[in-house]
Structure 1
């Protein structure tokens, strides 16, 4: 089974930059996107007709949002965390026979860290939500988690200590999540791999020099670790300031 996750930074803009071609070529069983930045009815993706589509739109226009395209119809779909709604469209959960899939776009703490407290509280609630799901069946989490967990996950880590996405609080929350019974699929398979990034600043020359951060993840319940066959980062795929990531895993029964 192949799963893809991509923060497209605006699906309408991404479609103009080759998203549809990549979508067709990857032929994923499940394709998740974050930062859709639209409202219902603003786009029609003809290349995805063979997929069931689920969209969680943010109330604010042109902001946030998540979507999942799946060849296997889910048993149920849940929008948000505690309630079946999500003002910023950040969480979309699909239940399948053998697992839950959670597509997430984690709140950014902002450059001035003005939203750090909100984010930390949000992550507490998110972890509680995941643990409730994990008690029922295994969970696969994918998306833009807006944190570089370790020094190996960011090119210039020394100069970014304490910055948004690399604060002790954010990194600590990622550690707490993994310690609660989940694995980072990429580091599970490639613990020492360097220069493996999924996001780059739009400043000139940054992406060409691969001065990036790894902030997009496929996490999974630890009991699924033996089923994971590969985890990839498609660093050379353009169309967004993020690149797609891929999880290949055996069928989960």
Structure 2
């Protein structure tokens, strides 16, 4: 089972840079997208729900802002749009697809980079999300939570860690929060199970030639329930082409999602 996650920084922008052509060559079972920055009516089905996939979007109420999507070769048993928190759901930050015992989530955790108010919103989300994840861990389901978590966990996860300790995304409180999550033994950073190397970044600022110099951050994750620890078989970050200021994070799992007898055909993204 191959799962790809990408913060597209505008799905229409990513499409114009060749993302969907590349995506169709990857033989991925599930693709999770964050920051679609579009309303469903603005997207042409033939471009934004490619042949072979069932496509699901959860838009922000504000135009040109946030939004998540999930594409799947197999039709999910259930789709859940939103986490059940009106303030977060209005920003289109959560969509879950259930396949038997497995839940795959496309998550766009709030960023605090635009100012103190947004940082407080981020902290409040984190305060609520940890108990939510604890409930998920006790549910007996398998989880793969894909997306832009907007936090670099350790010093190895960003180039200039010394100069960013007071900046959103690498604040001590944020890093401790992730440490607490992983220390519970219920959740794992799937990428680091197989790759412990430095300079494994998924996001680069558009300033100061950060991409060219590889001055990046690893803030995109596939965080998995402990039950899947031995199922991660390959991990990679795709950087040969650039579709966004983020890079696609690709992971393979030794996990049977099941076959879809009626091949998904191009269709209008479901409302």
User: Once the two structures are superposed, what CA deviation does each residue of 1:169-220 show, in whole Å capped at 9, x if it has no partner?
Assistant: 11122112222311101111122x0111000000142101100000000110
- When the two chains are superposed, the root-mean-square deviation of aligned CA atoms in Å is 1.6
**Is the 1:2–1:248 Cα contact (8 Å) retained in structure 2?**
yes
Conserved 8 A contact 1:81-1:129? no
Distance 2:127 2:54 in 1: 31
User: Equivalent residue for 1:183?
Assistant: 188
Match of 2:116 in 1: 113
| 2:40 equivalent in structure 1 | 40
Deviation, 1:82, is 2.6
SS in 1 for 2:223: strand
Q: Name the CA distance, whole Å, in 2 between partners of 1:14 and 1:188.
A: 29
TM-score (normalised: structure 1): 0.94
Aligned residues: 252
Aligned residue in 2 for 1:19: 19
Conserved? CA contact 2:111–2:122, under 8 Å: yes
Matched, 1:97 2:97: no
> Relative contact order (C-alpha < 8 Å, sep 6+): which is higher?
2
C-alpha contact (below 8 Å) 1:232/1:246 kept by paired residues:
yes
Distance 1:252 1:83, change over 3 A: farther
Q: Which residue of 2 aligns with 1:81?
A: 83
Q: Is the 8 A contact 2:113 2:167 kept in 1?
A: no
Q: Which residue matches 1:159? A: 163
**CA apart distance, 1:94:** 1.1
- TM superposition shift of 1:222: 1.2
**For the residues of structure 1 that align with 2:58 and 2:130, how far apart are their CA atoms?**
20
Deviation at 1:83, TM superposition (A): 5.0
Q: Which residue of 2 aligns with 1:29?
A: 29
CA offset at residue 95 of structure 1?
1.1
1:150 corresponds to which of 154, 167, 177: 154
- Residue 140, structure 1, aligned to residue 156, structure 2: no
SS of 1:25's partner is coil
- Is the CA contact 1:53–1:70 (under 8 Å) kept in the aligned structure 2? yes
